[in-house]
Amino acid sequence: MGNDAIEGVAARYWHPLDDGRIQCDVCPRYCRLHDGQRGLCFVRARSGEALVLTTYGRSSGFCVDPIEKKPLNHFLPGTPVLSFGTAGCNLTCKFCQNWDISKARALDRLQDRASPTAIAEAAVQSGCRSVAYTYNDPTIFLEYAIDVAQACRERGIRNVAVSAGYMCAAPRAELYAQMDAANIDLKAFTEGFYRKLCTGVLQPVLETLEYIRHETDVWLEITTLLIPGHNDAPAEIEQLSAWVIDHLGPDVPLHFTAFHPDYKMMDVAPTPGSTLARAREVALAHGLRHVYPGNVHDEAGQSTYCHACGTRLIGRNWYEITAWHLTPEGACAACGAPCAGVFEARPGSWGQRRMPVRLSREPRARI
Ligand code: SF4
């Protein structure tokens, strides 16, 4: 005792331990906290005899993005998505590409204060079809994400989770009950990678992927950032592809994206395009139908093809839709084979634009 109370809203998924500590049960870290302590994610903290979420209602910023940037290639293509995140993360990836947000300790990055209703209204006003919980992981701010998602659904706005999938079963079920699509990072296919580079564990991520695919109606896509020398060995790509086809089936799109030196991994070279192309070939050879290179310009690779006849169904130039050969029902216009995904009669026309949105601004504060 003796600590100043930490401000926040009541958090869910925790229980008291016999030794007087409180255990957070949101992710497999199971942080055990004395009063005044914060979990590894920094944003869930013990205040007195309860756990609180310190970032409820606060964001690191809002931006309207193309949905393809999440990346989601089979979910309302061409439409704008209102993206936001908070601060902190429950993994510690040395290669984090959003480390200024995920590693934020002083929460003075959280300049925007936004209620769930305000976010949902902003999505409507800006013409967005969905809201994405992204930049950092909605796992750690699930109470806020769920409230925003409910406000969005009331207004016909859909919800997109961009997550590492490192989450326990009960909170996962509650979060994904409110989601319509998800892109889950499968960061590698070895426990050693997760342990050494993320201080995490692979198995719970695989469980999340199977859960979303088989236990929900959430549209699922997967992203693997290929880091030279760490997770790009041909044998590992083979194993990852084999697991996806065996456990999730051929229709889950897989994005192999290019690494750029960042955060604590400045000494590793960027991923060559040839590595992405080779990984794509391996995954396609295993039977996956939709495999995309990311963070590089590859119009042929980033387009969607009919698995039955090979017709190019959706052309993409970066995030721009350049061709559309789907029927209004989402089938190949040439042969009629259905393409897995969530499609409408026509694609959106948002293009590549990124449009920052300001909801409200308040003086910078540290909490
Ligand atoms: S969500 Fe945060 S506090 Fe809870 S177990 Fe994970 S890292 Fe720890």
Judge whether residue 352 has pLDDT over 60.
yes
Judge whether residue 110 has pLDDT over 70.
no
Q: How far is the CA of 43 from the centre of ligand 1 (A)?
A: 8
Q: Which atom of ligand 1 is nearest to the CA of 14?
A: 4
Q: How far is the CA of 137 from the centre of ligand 1 (A)?
A: 11
Contact between residue 22 and residue 33 where contact means Cβ atoms under 8 Å apart: yes
Q: Which atom of ligand 1 is nearest to the CA of 39?
A: 3
pLDDT digits (tens, 9 = 90+) for 6-58: 889 999 999 999 999 999 999 999 999 999 999 999 999 999 999 999 999 98
Q: What is the pLDDT of residue 60?
A: 83
Q: What is the pLDDT of residue 101?
A: 64
Judge whether residue 362 has pLDDT over 90.
no
Task: Provide the 10 A C-beta neighbour count for residue 28.
Answer: 15
Check residues 104 and 2 and name the one with the higher pLDDT: 104
Q: What gap in Å lies between CA 229 and CA 125, rounded to an integer?
A: 45
Atom 6 in ligand 1: which residue has the minimum CA distance? Answer: 27
Q: What is the pLDDT of residue 358?
A: 87
Atom 2 in ligand 1: which residue has the minimum CA distance? Answer: 41
Judge whether residue 361 has pLDDT over 60.
no
Q: What gap in Å lies between CA 187 and CA 164, rounded to an integer?
A: 8
Q: What is the pLDDT of residue 366?
A: 38
Q: Which atom of ligand 1 is nearest to the CA of 42?
A: 2
> Is the beta carbon of 149 within 6 A of some atom in ligand 1?
no
Query: Per-residue pLDDT averaged across 140-153, rounded?
Result: 97
Q: What is the pLDDT of residue 265?
A: 82
Residue 212: HSE in the Cβ half-sphere, 13 Å Cα cutoff = 33
DSSP secondary structure letter of residue 29: T
Q: Which atom of ligand 1 is nearest to the CA of 33?
A: 3
Judge whether residue 363 has pLDDT over 50.
no
| Counts for the chain of helices (H) and strands (E), in that order | 9, 20
DSSP, collapsed to helix, strand or coil, labels residue 141 as helix
Query: Per-residue pLDDT averaged across 156-162, rounded?
Result: 98
Minimum mean pLDDT range among 14-18, 98-102, 113-117, 210-214: 98-102
- Identify the H or E element spanning 138: none
Q: What is the pLDDT of residue 66?
A: 97
Q: What gap in Å lies between CA 360 and CA 253, rounded to an integer?
A: 36
Q: What gap in Å lies between CA 314 and CA 260, rounded to an integer?
A: 27
Query: Per-residue pLDDT averaged across 196-201, rounded?
Result: 95
Contact between residue 52 and residue 35 where contact means Cβ atoms under 8 Å apart: no
Distances (CA, A) of 20 to 7, 8, 28, 36, 50: 21, 21, 20, 13, 12
Q: What is the pLDDT of residue 135?
A: 86
Q: What is the pLDDT of residue 267?
A: 87
> Is the beta carbon of 140 within 6 A of some atom in ligand 1?
yes
Contact between residue 45 and residue 52 where contact means Cβ atoms under 8 Å apart: yes
Q: What is the pLDDT of residue 98?
A: 74
Query: Per-residue pLDDT averaged across 248-260, rounded?
Result: 97
Q: How far is the CA of 21 from the centre of ligand 1 (A)?
A: 14
Q: What is the pLDDT of residue 264?
A: 79
Residue type at position 271: T
> Is the beta carbon of 125 within 6 A of some atom in ligand 1?
no
Tell me the percentage of the chain whose pLDDT exceeds 70: 93
Q: What gap in Å lies between CA 74 and CA 67, rounded to an integer?
A: 9
Q: Which residues of 119-135 are buried (b: 16+ CB within 10 A; e: fewer)?
A: bbbbbeeeebbbbbbbb
> Is the beta carbon of 24 within 6 A of some atom in ligand 1?
yes
**In a mutational test of the pocket of ligand 1, which residue from 90, 143, 199 has the highest number of ligand atoms less than 8 Å from its CB?**
90
Query: Locate tokens 């990124």: which residue?
Result: 354
Contact between residue 314 and residue 332 where contact means Cβ atoms under 8 Å apart: no
Minimum mean pLDDT range among 258-267, 306-315, 327-336: 258-267
Judge whether residue 191 has pLDDT over 90.
yes
Contact between residue 160 and residue 194 where contact means Cβ atoms under 8 Å apart: no
Judge whether residue 128 has pLDDT over 60.
yes
Distances (CA, A) of 316 to 66, 289, 292: 12, 17, 11
CA of residue 165 relative to chain centroid, distance: 8
Contact between residue 263 and residue 94 where contact means Cβ atoms under 8 Å apart: yes
Q: What is the pLDDT of residue 365?
A: 38
> Is the beta carbon of 289 within 6 A of some atom in ligand 1?
no
Q: Which atom of ligand 1 is nearest to the CA of 30?
A: 5
**In a mutational test of the pocket of ligand 1, which residue from 30, 37, 41, 93 has the highest number of ligand atoms less than 8 Å from its CB?**
41
Q: What gap in Å lies between CA 147 and CA 91, rounded to an integer?
A: 24
**In a mutational test of the pocket of ligand 1, which residue from 22, 44, 55, 93 has the highest number of ligand atoms less than 8 Å from its CB?**
44
The burial of 318, by beta-carbon neighbours within 10 Å (0-12 exposed, 13-18 middle, 19 or more buried), is given as middle
Task: Provide the 10 A C-beta neighbour count for residue 38.
Answer: 18
Which ranges constitute the DSSP H helices of the chain?
A: 99-102, 116-125, 142-154, 169-176, 191-198, 203-215, 234-247, 273-285, 299-302
**Average model confidence (pLDDT) across the chain:** 93
